[in-house]
Amino acid sequence: MALFAQAACHELYTAREADAPSATAMALGCALQSLQGRPLLWVRHDLVDLATGFAYAPGLGELGLDLAQLTLLRARDARSVLQAGLEGARCAALGAVVVELWGETRLLDLTASRRLALAAKASKTPLFLVRVAAAPQPSAAETRWQVRAAPSRALAANAPGPSIFDLTLLRHRNGQEGLRCHMEWDADARTFTARPIAGGSPIVEPAREQASPALSRRVVPFSLDRQGPNPAGALVTQAG
């Protein structure tokens, strides 16, 4: 199922702050499918690090990311995050750009989002903008999604299975809003597979307004580390 067009800007909003690692993992998975041997630029707002933990090299490897392809940039403020993301989106030598931004900011208005979208289109470098602790806002992005963590399928000996993401399409330039689906990430094949929604619902269904109950089954989160300002295995490049 092709959910994210190439050469475009896509927004992924977290349903809750706790879903930030899942939204990041979803964005990184989409980015990996676009690399074709080219590098990946990942720009993180420092506030995301403080709230969810630092990027952890072994966890990234389990996701299927070759660290030799990755440039991870940490930025202190929203202005630096957006500037780095824009410069990355303008670079045709990159395979993809992932940008994580914490909270509401007036800097990311319609004009700024249009710059990002036009840069991604011109360079053919897809940009995935992860919005944490922010309400969905109008923008020039090709698609706007809400991301939640979903329970994984049990493997042999009741081991946790691959990560599954609950996606709701909030906005699409082609008018396909209102769809909901579960996507499972295969780290070895670097592909997503559509899975039935819990309760026997179809793989893709119209989205419905609902509360966010606690998950009663296993959830496989994106691996991050909370053990200090520069834990072993963390990847750090500072800017801004």
Tens-digit pLDDT profile for the chain (240 aa)?
467 888 999 999 999 999 999 999 999 999 999 999 999 999 999 999 999 989 999 999 999 999 999 999 999 999 999 999 999 999 999 999 999 999 999 999 999 999 999 999 999 999 999 999 999 999 999 999 999 999 988 888 888 889 999 999 999 987 677 889 999 999 999 999 998 786 555 555 555 444 333 333 444 444 454 444 444 344 545 565
Residue 25 tokens, joined: 């993992």
Q: Tell me the residue range of the domain where 157 lies.
A: 9-229
Give domain status of residue 101, yes or no: yes
Give domain status of residue 55, yes or no: yes
The pLDDT assigned to 26 comes to: 97
Residue 151: count of CB within 10 angstroms of its CB: 17
Q: Tell me how far apart the terminal alpha carbons of the chain are, to the nearest angstrom.
A: 38
Give domain status of residue 53, yes or no: yes
Which residue, 161, 143, 165, 142, is CA-closest to 152?
161
Which residue, 219, 208, 217, is CA-closest to 184?
219
Rounded CA separation 195/91 (Å) = 35
Please report where in the chains the tokens 């996507």 appear, as a residue. Answer: 183
Residue 226 tokens, joined: 């909370």
The pLDDT assigned to 84 comes to: 98
User: How far is Cα of residue 200 from the mean position of the Cα atoms in its chain?
Assistant: 26
Give domain status of residue 239, yes or no: no
Residue 174: count of CB within 10 angstroms of its CB: 8
Say which amino acid occupies 206.
P
Rounded CA separation 106/100 (Å) = 16
Secondary structure, 3-state, 13-78: EECCHHHHHHHHHHHHHHHHCCCCCCCEEEEEEHHHHHHHCEEEHHHHHHHCCCHHHEEEEEECCH
Largest interatomic CA distance in the chain: 52
Give domain status of residue 139, yes or no: yes
The pLDDT assigned to 199 comes to: 58
Which pTM value belongs to this model?
A: 0.84
Number of domains present in the structure of the chain:
1
The pLDDT assigned to 174 comes to: 73
Q: What is the CATH number of the domain that holds 48?
A: 3.40.50.300
Residue 48 tokens, joined: 């995301």
